[in-house]
Structure 1
């Protein structure tokens, strides 16, 4: 289009130059002159039709030249107007094309910048992932080294067990000696009583003073009080010894049930399958491996072989999580955490376990609930609570039974509704997860309320038989422990 306009402009310029050379005047023609020329041309046509005009040829030629000049001038004016319009359109189109080019350039620059940013973010993410994997490997290596150093410092497990047995035997011998001494004291007491009464008789016979008798009676009373205190202390020591002996029996029975057959001369199996099996499991973290082929994992242990599977004491960790997170487990073993459904199923399916739940409100009141059997199924059965034993009512202080209602229920989360409520989703209603029936009498995985805990409602952490279902508790802890074989048979 630019070439066409340029050619047209050149043609018009050449035409104007030829017209000026011919003497064409480009001054605008008035309407009167135009009308006069029209009459003149009309008379000329009439004369040509009638015959030769009597006038001279010169005026006619002059009039024709004027007419040609006017027509050329009008044509040039029209062409000039059209050229102006075309130039305006061309300028407008050129401006639009420039704007489009600028937008395209800006869009390309923006896309390049975004691509560079995405590449940088991807590289940064990959670096962080590599760093995290390195830290994880270093942490595992450090834990293994610490465990090895601990084993080297305290000796092998067999030596530790022998040491504990010797210590307990020494305590038992000491208590037996105290019991024999207490039994030997009785004849001395009788002799002292006889001596006192005989002395009193001799005093009566020999007129002894009443003051000596009172002193001896006071001495006897003091001796009896001391004897009663020693007997009470001996009974307490015997009770503690019996409890420790039962714990040792329980651990030894669990070790025998978990130990695999050994070949002659083979080293003892050093792996631990529960907190009850290891003497190191006293208020600490223990590495468990249920079978030689299974993957090991860490669990928190407490006194008497209890394994902590869930702990809540603050709002640092949210428990409103997805099915996958509950499957794998989450949180910090030293703080708030859940062990994970896969690990919990592996533990409870390896041997018979009992369950204990500790509760505490914001006023410091504590309560406990226990069940003599506890187990869950695998993921194919949606981790159903397929075994929940009898509620242990003898535990003090009692929290009541708010968990038996959930027996047999499948595990539910906000993104996996498996409860028995047809008109609702208990996980979404309680803003939590758990073994919901329709829906439940407890919500141990509920939202933590550090404020307004007395009126938190069903979305809080509640145990219906302890402070009701409106009160959100301060602390919750779930623990399991293998049941010894003799207890299981009973």
Structure 2
């Protein structure tokens, strides 16, 4: 009987152990691999000494029961029951603790995932903002680079002008000294020629009204006072140019009698030319033209002349500059050799003065540099003029049609429109200073 009870007891214990192992393993696998919100209750294992012939009762979640029966007369049953109940309690506590830890871990993981998702969203938003800021900075950097380049260009020009101005005084003193030396050397040979010229030419002074009896007109003013008072082309015969030449006469502006020697109006004629072209003249008298330094000289040495410059912009605004005294090569024995220097004084008008700074300067073209700048101002500013270093006016510059980005290389009259506005129309004309009644 003892061997039978021991055998039965071992069988029961083994069965209970297997069932407990299966139950625990199933519960762990279920919790680890399935995420259903409802967890199935573990089976309840209990001893039932009150029930006849029942050693152990296992109640599953679906309320079904498994009863294990044994002979109650086995002497070791009571102690074994106590150990089994203790083992059941420990196993159930372990399963419960594991389930609680799993739930807590799962909740922590969920909270961590939510936190990570929020941080990722914030990082993405921040990245988008950083990219937008970067694009804005790139655009701003590009614009600043362009402005910096423009400022550097202007700075270069200013530095150049300042550098040139430091040497101009010394060069001017040297030039005056050279001129005085040359005049002193040439004085002996020049006297006979000057005497002959003075004998042929009338004294520079106020022009009497009209021509002397039977004489030919010396300029447009002589034609005007003779009774021909319509604008147009006429032939004149200056004192030192007896063969004569044709000019355009303005017979209507400010009393008439003006001899036109320069006109810009449509850009049809190229004014960026060399010395010979500016000496001899070019263009059409009825349109854009330059009369020629040689002819301007022979006109202005006949007597005292005044200069009028009419200007017009592309908004139909007009202005004028008047100079009471004007001449080209007035004190030159050989005006071409001297560079046809300009003499100008007594400004009045509405355009502001942009010419007096050039008083006394020689004429410069792209192929003959007579200015005081280290560079050739005519080549640099695309014109031809009585440049100093370099200019406040550039009426023979490029025809650029109003505002332009380049600096001072258009048809400029700086006191009226600045250095970056090319005028629509200019006309330079001279008239002898008249006697007052």
Q: TM-score, normalised by structure 1?
A: 0.43
Could you say which structure has the larger radius of gyration?
2
Identify the structure with the greater helix proportion. Answer: 1
